[in-house]
Amino acid sequence: QHLSLNLGNVEREQNAPIVFDVYLNLPDDQPPQYKSIYYVGHMTFFGQGHHHGAGDTTEHRAGTSFSYVITNLVQEQRRQGVWSDTSFRVTLVVGGHREEGAPSVQAAASANPPPALVHIGSVSITAE
């Protein structure tokens, strides 16, 4: 099977970073590492977000969709016993490839919830 992770209707806050790393099933006690079996890919928002038009009004672009092929990642997670067929978790890490100690949006939210940086309308895994 060909598996894809799909993030739909994704919108970025105006002053949020423009690059995030995406992880699937990253354990709470493990720092994000882009060479790990949890790293899916990156999400970039170059040229997206809020735009100012005539009359200085703010317009919002419709949410963007991101899709990632995760077939090999899921196979490796299954081999290592960390995949569940009933649930999954997506974690976004601010700023691109950071190997150690990078705060994630999810981890930061568990202590003192910060304002949301990215809003994700839907998350799904599809098989073809």
* 82 contacts: CB under 8 Å, gap ≥ 6: 25, 27, 37
Tokens 């990156």 correspond to 42
Stretch 17-29: mean pLDDT: 91
- Residue 116 identity (one-letter amino acid): A
State the average pLDDT over residues 21-37.
Answer: 92
Strands of the 118-127 sheet, one edge to the other? 64-69, 3-12, 118-127
| Residue range 54-81, pLDDT digits in tens | 333 333 345 789 999 999 999 999 999 9
Q: How far apart are CA 76 and CA 16, in angstroms?
A: 32
β-sheet bridge partners, residue 11: 119
Per-residue model confidence (pLDDT) at position 94: 84
Structure tokens at 19: 């690059």
Q: What average pLDDT does the chain have?
A: 78
Q: What is the mean pLDDT of residues 48-57?
A: 38
Q: What is the mean pLDDT of residues 100-120?
A: 56
Band of residue 90 on the pLDDT scale cut at 50, 70, 90: very high
Percent of the chain past pLDDT 90, that is, above it, reads: 45
